[in-house]
Amino acid sequence: MADTKTGLYICTGCGIGDDLNVDELAKNGPGENSADISKNHPFLCSREGINLIKDDITNEGVNRLCIAACSLRAVHDAFNFDGCITERVNLREQVTWTHKPQDEDTQLMAEDYVRMGMVKLNESKENTPFLPEDPMSKDILVVGGGVSGLTAALDGAKAGYDIVLVEKEARLGGYQARVGKIAEHPYKGVMENNISGLISQVKGHEKIKTYTSAQVEKTLGSPGLYKVTIRHNGAVAEHPIGAIVMAAGWKPYDPQKLDESLGYGKSKNVITNAIFEDISKDGSVTRPSDDKVVNSVAFLQCAGQRDPKHLPYCSAFCCVTALKQALQVKTQNPEARVMVVFKEMRTAGHAEDLYLTAQEAGIIFIRSQNARVHTEGSLAVEVEDELLGENLLLENLDMVVLATGVVPLTAQGDDIGSRQGAEEEEEKKKDELAIPPDVIRESNILNLDYRQGPEIPALENDFPDSHYICFPYESRRTGIYAAGCVRRPMGISQAVTDGQGAVMKAIQCIEITHRGESVHPRSGDISLPEFAMQRCTQCKRCTVECPFGAINEDEKSNPIHQPTRCRRCGICMGACPERIISFKDYSVSMIGNMIKAIEVPDEEDEKPRILVLACENDAVPALDMAGFHRLQYNAWVRVVPLRCLGSMNLVWIADSLSKGFDGILLLGCQHGDDYQCHYVRGSELSKIRLSKVSETLNRMQLESDRVRYETVSISDFSKLPAIMDEFAETLDKVGPNPFKGF
């Protein structure tokens, strides 16, 4: 950009003007990066304040704005000016609301922040949205023709998108087509299966192209640019696709694997809930051994479920299924003895009504954790009734029905990670960064052409990773959304909602991608990482660490970035040991220069400095929250917000320590199984990278206490002052950084 003109606008409202010496701030803050124009306003986000800025843009040609006011998260829309690069400096939540008014330390802090803002502003370059030369597709691929897949296809088509529906079976309907009766909202009793209505709607819709007995053979490309190859009945079809809904479904847990005490396989009359559906589909429930109409049935819930030896999770619908099946038996013969042995009865919401209906029909419910099936002689179930503390024998049973659970289709196939693991063992030794590999099973659902593996990485229990706390339907592959029982176990109505939700996410992704923007969490961001390839050493760190598989490799291990897969988190930038990856408005050198812009006073001044690298998604909002609550904390801290803690490059640690910072505090999100990282593995990766820091510290002969890593969520805001104060105390004991003044 040839002509740049910077403007610094300081808001003196919300107490900023009372607590800080704003004139000094404008003078001493910017230093060598001082702005061309500097103005104050007592109410900058008011129409008057905005007009002041707009006037400068029109009349003075200002096109770079440093707004020193409140948090980036406040009045975001007001400070959004077309054609300008805007940088926000948070003087309100992070300075005046959390520190002593009219205090030297507070003033110094504000000056540092303004200087950092000006550095960032001056180093930022303008972004342009990514719009590929190849035409982008708006079609949606739906994999799986069960309840959620059908719903996704139908709703997507109704919203005006062309749908390609792939079903591996010869007929549509998925598991639901196997089922005789259903129990659904409003849960007043057993209902007729209505899947055929949905199937005919899908079949009759002109915007839906359905392939049955079909299989996705290859998925090439990235959102908006997918090329999907479908094999069906020996023929091959190719479709350009915008986004994908994966509703591949589930299969029942293999009853052969169940504990022997449940008696499966020892008697024909010990069946599973899935087998019950098969034998009762014609309308009557009969005993498998001799086709006698059943008179006494025991349903054993949680067979191999919520059990670490089998499925550690709850399959969500088995309780309602058992109620339905028990009611079927009772309807057939109101005098039948029907017992449901459960660990916990889970009939959420209106399904409770079905439980009550079953109870009123005379079905007996027994809470027991250790049901055992006796198959010698008459079929019997022995239970310890928890409420009575008595052992009971349920004798002369015609049938025992075991509630086996949901196994997602993504759980089938070998994990490619464990195979590669052995090969890469040697490499890792050299590398020293022990990054646990993702579990990617060859489940033959999408057959992705991704460097990282052919399917979606699994998180817990082989369900495709989904950031379920904040972002349902999300997977770790941008543009691919999971729905139905492949995402997590669920009943019919939830599967319908899932299909609708996932297809909405797919549409959102398509539309956003067509504008060249990022999907969430950085929704609307058009920045993209740039690779200075001439310095690349083909170390593969970026391709390995990108949680979204956004970087492919060529045969020489050069990274090939796929822009529409990218979430713009900057984890690759943090990973790159050569520091060749940068964004136009976010780079290793830019953050490095911001850190350098912080004035570190000499040892004699007794003003230590703590660098806080904080995640923008949780830690920075938590700091804002601390401000809203007027919590006071240590004035030595200087906060640098990061897109994700995973974008933290180790060079910043080394640079700031040699500059004389007394300590460095990293504030990231919780990681592990219950991770809260918006980029799934960012905080975990930064923690792993930190393991290398001790080396740096040793080399510089510094104490390891100087670098601390803390996980915080937004609700932890009240703990933040204590964390920072306590860290400051520790540093006080350790003593000042000997590199000060060099």
Partner 1 sequence: MSLKMDASLIKEIEASGSVDVNRCYHCGNCTAACPLSTRANTFPRRYMKYVQMGLREKIKASPEPWLCFQCNDCSVKCPRDAKPGDVMAVLRKQALVEYGTPKFLARFVSDGSLLNSLLVAVVVIALTLLIRFPLEAVLKPVLDAFDKLVGMHPHTGTVVYAHFFPHWLLIGLFTIATGFTMFNGILGIFKFWKDMAENDSKSGVSGSKKGLVGSTVKVLTDIMVHKKFGDCGTAPSRKSSHLILVLGFIALFIVTSYAVFSLYVLKVYPFSMLHPMKILGNLGGVALLAGVIIMIMNRKNNPKEMGIAGSFDWSFLWVILGVGITGFLTQFLRFSGPASMAYANYFIHLIFVFYLLVYLPYSKFGHILYRTVALVYMEASGRNGTAITATPPVQTAAPSENIEQSAGSESRQAE
* 410 residue type, one letter: T
Residues 380-419: x/- map of binding to partner 1 (CB under 8 A)?
Answer: --x--x-xx-xxxxxx------------------------
CB atoms within 10 A of CB 233: 9
The verdict on 375 binding partner 1 (CB under 8 A) reads no
Among 364, 435, 651, 697, binds partner 1 (CB under 8 A): 364
Work out how close the CB of 264 gets to partner 1 at its nearest, in angstroms, rounded to a whole number. Answer: 21
Locate 700 and state its tokens: 């510089």
Nearer to partner 1, 197 or 389 (CB): 389
What type of residue is 463? Answer: F
Q: Which of 37, 78, 356, 714 binds partner 1 (CB under 8 A)?
A: 356
CB 150 within 8 A of CB 198: yes
Q: How far is the CB of 141 from partner 1 (least distance, A)?
A: 46
CB-nearer residue toward partner 1: 399 or 680: 399
Stretch that binds partner 1, among 359-367, 410-418, 511-519, 589-597 (CB under 8 A): 359-367
State which residue, 391 or 418, has the beta carbon closest to partner 1: 391
Measured distance CA(388)–CA(384) in Å, rounded:
8
3, with CB counted inside 10 A (0-12, 13-18, 19+), is exposed
Please identify, among the stretches 65-73, 234-242, 379-387, 607-615, the one whose residues bind partner 1 according to the rule CB under 8 A.
Answer: 379-387
The full DSSP string for 594-607 is HHHTS----GGGT-
**Residues facing 143 on adjacent strands:** 166, 246
Residue 696: helix, strand or coil by DSSP?
A: helix
Nearest residue to 436 via CA among 544, 360, 533: 544
C-alpha separations of 83 from 56, 61, 64, 128, 508 in Å: 13, 11, 9, 11, 25
Neighbouring C-beta atoms of residue 128, cutoff 10 Å: 10
Structure tokens at 209: 């192209």
Tokens found for residue 472: 């349902």
Write down the least CB distance from residue 321 to partner 1, Å.
19
Taking the complex as a whole, how short is the minimal distance between the CB of residue 337 and partner 1, in angstroms? Answer: 5
Using the minimum distance from each CB to partner 1, give the nearer residue, 345 or 631. Answer: 345
Contact flag: residue 359 with partner 1 (CB under 8 A): yes
Task: Find the part of the chain contacting partner 1 (CB under 8 A) among 6-14, 102-110, 194-202, 358-366.
Answer: 358-366
Among 9, 342, 365, 675, binds partner 1 (CB under 8 A): 365
For 137, other C-beta atoms within 10 Å of its C-beta total 24
Question: Which residues does 367 contact at the CB level (< 8 Å), separation at least 6?
Answer: 341, 342, 343, 344, 345, 385, 386, 387
Q: Is 366 in the site for partner 1 (CB under 8 A)?
A: yes
Could you tell me the smallest distance in angstroms from the CB atom of residue 492 to partner 1?
24
Choice between 353 and 725, CB closer to partner 1: 353
68: left (phi over 0), alpha (psi -120 to 50) or beta: beta
Of 332-351, binders to partner 1 (CB under 8 A) are 337
Q: Which of 3, 360, 425, 606 binds partner 1 (CB under 8 A)?
A: 360
Crossing angle between the packed helical segments 619-628 and 720-734, to the nearest 10 degrees: 100
Q: What's the chain's Rg over C-alpha atoms?
A: 31
Residue among 337 and 659 whose Cβ is closer to partner 1 = 337
Instruction: Name residue 587's amino acid.
Output: S
Task: Name which of 387 and 422 has its Cβ closer to partner 1.
Answer: 387
CB of 391 to partner 1, least distance (A): 4
CB of 324 to partner 1, least distance (A): 18
Q: Which is nearer to partner 1, 126 or 395 (CB)?
A: 395
Q: Which stretch binds partner 1 (CB under 8 A): 104-112, 354-362, 508-516, 650-658?
A: 354-362
**Residue number, 363 or 677, with CB nearest to partner 1:** 363
Residue 534, C-beta contacts closer than 8 angstroms, at least 6 positions apart: none
The strand pairing partners of 181, in sequence order, are 192
Q: Which residues contact 50 (CB under 8 A, 6 or more apart)?
A: 44, 78, 79
Segment contacting partner 1 (CB under 8 A): 170-178, 356-364, 705-713, 729-737? 356-364
Q: Tell me the C-alpha distance between 508 and 69, whole Å.
A: 33
When the beta carbons of 380 and 485 are compared against partner 1, the nearer one is 380
Instruction: Find the shortest distance in angstroms from Cβ 370 to partner 1.
Output: 12
Q: Which residue from 232, 367, 514, 579 is in contact with partner 1, where contact means CB under 8 A?
A: 367
Q: Which is nearer to partner 1, 159 or 364 (CB)?
A: 364
In our burial notation (b when 16+ CB lie closer than 10 A, e otherwise), range 530-543 reads ebeeeebeebbbbb
State the Cα–Cα distance between residues 405 and 310, nearest whole angstrom.
Answer: 10
Give the interface segment with partner 1, choosing from 126-134, 362-370, 531-539, 608-616 (CB under 8 A).
362-370
Least separation in angstroms between residue 357's CB and partner 1 is: 11
Choose one: 108-116, 226-234, 355-363, 497-505; the region binding partner 1 (CB under 8 A).
355-363
Nearer to partner 1, 391 or 691 (CB): 391
**Residue whose C-alpha is closest to residue 248's, from 476, 419, 502:** 502
Q: How far is the CB of 185 from partner 1 (least distance, A)?
A: 21
Cα–Cα nearest to 540, from 588, 576, 582? 576
Closer to partner 1 by CB, 390 or 673: give it: 390
Least Å distance, CB 388 to partner 1, is: 6
Report the nearest approach of partner 1 to the CB of residue 322 (Å). Answer: 15
- Residue ranges of the alpha helices (H) in 124-241? 147-158, 195-204
Q: Decide: 67 and 87 in contact? Cβ < 8 Å.
A: yes
* Residue number, 291 or 360, with CB nearest to partner 1: 360
Q: Which residue number, 57 or 361, has a Cβ lying nearer to partner 1?
A: 361
User: CB of 380: closest distance to partner 1 in angstroms?
Assistant: 9
Q: How far is the CB of 345 from partner 1 (least distance, A)?
A: 9
List the x/- string, 282-321, binding to partner 1 by CB under 8 A.
Answer: ----------------------------------------
Q: Are 256 and 304 in contact (CB under 8 A)?
A: no
Shortest gap between Cβ of 288 and partner 1 (angstroms)?
23
Q: Is the Cβ of residue 351 or residue 512 nearer to partner 1 in the bound state?
A: 351
Kindly tell me which of 57 and 345 has the beta carbon lying closer to partner 1: 345
Given a contact cutoff of 8 angstroms between Cβ atoms, the answer to whether 249 and 489 are in contact is no
Strands 140-143 and 163-166, sheet pairing: parallel
Determine contact, residues 572/549, Cβ cutoff 8 Å: no
**Residue 648, C-beta contacts closer than 8 angstroms, at least 6 positions apart:** 574, 613, 642, 666, 686, 689
The count of chain residues that interact with partner 1, using the rule CB under 8 A, is 21
Q: What angle do the packed helices 195-204 and 147-158 form, to 10 degrees?
A: 40
Chain residues in the site for partner 1 (CB under 8 A): 337, 355-356, 359-362, 364-367, 382, 385, 387-388, 390-395
